[in-house]
Structure 1
Amino acid sequence: MSRPASEQQFVTLSLGDEVFAIPVAYVREILEFRAPFAIPEGPAFMLGLTDVRGQGVPTLDLRRKLGLAPVAPGPSTRILVLDVPLGDRVLSLGLVADRVIEVITVSTDQVEPAPDIGVPWRSDYIQGVVRREASGNSGFVVLFEMTRLLTAQDAETIRQAA
């Protein structure tokens, strides 16, 4: 007798034609884009600090972090405010996405292993991929492994900035 597959919910977002997903458990809120307060000498992917209810939240350009070409913010650009557990603490950060699409429920048996070739981003922070059928478009949703998206050096830089 097989065990039923467990399910997890994800917020899907787009960067151009690519669709990614972040576990709902990490998402505190989703904000309309506003330019963060710049931090001098930060890494290129760090846009600065965004005021979230009186707290300065380090905000990253997800496109630059993944090695994709940056684009100017548009009317659908959003900042996802996340609380990501890293070791013995929780790191609050904002991720800029071109668009937030929807919340999806994914069963563990739908998740395929992360591909190791043919994708423009590193596979070590990809939990897996899920096939999708939306509005007549088929493709894949890339599931982020949020605890691996940032290197220890990235996390320390962000901690210092905050």
Structure 2
Amino acid sequence: MQHAEKSRVVGPGRAGEFLTFALDHETFAIPVEAVREVVDPLPTAQVPRAPDFAPALVNVRGNVVALIDLRRRLAMPPAPADAEARVVVSEVAIGGEPTLVGIQTDAVHGVIDVRGAVVEPLPKLGTRWRTEFIQGVVRQDRGFVIILDMARILAPDDAARRSTDRG
């Protein structure tokens, strides 16, 4: 018998601020501490044989940064042409090394503080995203904020699945 995942409370001792952004009318979040800046879309250089979800590179203040298309990684439809696209430049540990990535978003909403809020696990049924990519869900106002696990999103598919099997 499998045990249900337990909810957890984000208390004052934990990072509780998250940058929220939109993808396909859903609200996602990543920890503020990982965010370097938010920029307008930048010219891209396509990368042959790159993963489908990281198809290009961008130049952010002299740094070569992989551009991450979360819509592709989360199996969402492409962004509409009229989206208020923004790029969130974030630092993520990849293979133990801090790495800058640019995350394509439809729009950036702002920062929320979830200290004291209950972070619930993503239900196994009724969701369209791979559960290993989601750290949890927080109720906010009249909706939900999906907290992403960027390390798992950027890991090769087999590594993301293995880390879920152990956790």
Q: TM-score, structure 2 length as denominator?
A: 0.80
1:160 equivalent in structure 2: none
Distance of 1:25 and 1:154 partners within structure 2: 27
RMSD: 2.3
Q: Which residue, 26, 42, 49 being the options, matches 1:41?
A: 49
SS of equivalent to 1:140: strand
Q: Which residue number corresponds to residue 81 of structure 1?
A: 89
* Alignment correspondent of 2:76: 68
Is it true that 1:5 corresponds to 2:15 in the alignment?
no
In the alignment, what sits opposite 2:155? 151
Shift of 1:58: 0.5
Distance 1:22 1:119 in 2: 19
What residue in structure 1 maps to residue 40 of structure 2? Answer: 32
Report the TM-score, using the length of structure 1 for normalisation: 0.82
Q: Check conservation: 2:72, 2:78, Cα contact below 8 A.
A: yes
In 2, are the aligned partners of 1:33 and 1:73 still within 8 Å (CA)?
Answer: no
Check 1:102–1:20 CA distance in 2 against 1; reply closer, same or farther (3 A cut).
same
Q: In structure 2, what residue type is equivalent to 1:146?
A: M
Task: Give aligned-pair identity as a percent.
Answer: 39
Q: 1:98 to 1:111 in 2, by over 3 A?
A: same
Query: What CA distance in whole angstroms lies between the structure 1 residues aligned with 2:79 and 2:158?
Result: 22
Structure 1 consecutive aligned stretches of length 4 or more whose deviation exceeds 4 Å: none
User: Residue 35 of structure 1: CA displacement?
Assistant: 3.6
Q: How far apart, in 1, do the equivalents of 2:101 and 2:116 lie? A: 27
Equivalent residue for 1:19, pick from 16, 19, 27: 27
| Alignment equivalent of 1:125, drawn from 130, 133, 158 | 133
> Using the alignment, how far apart are the partners of 2:158 and 2:63 within structure 1?
20
1:109 Cα deviation from its structure 2 partner: 4.0
Give the aligned residue type for 1:17: H
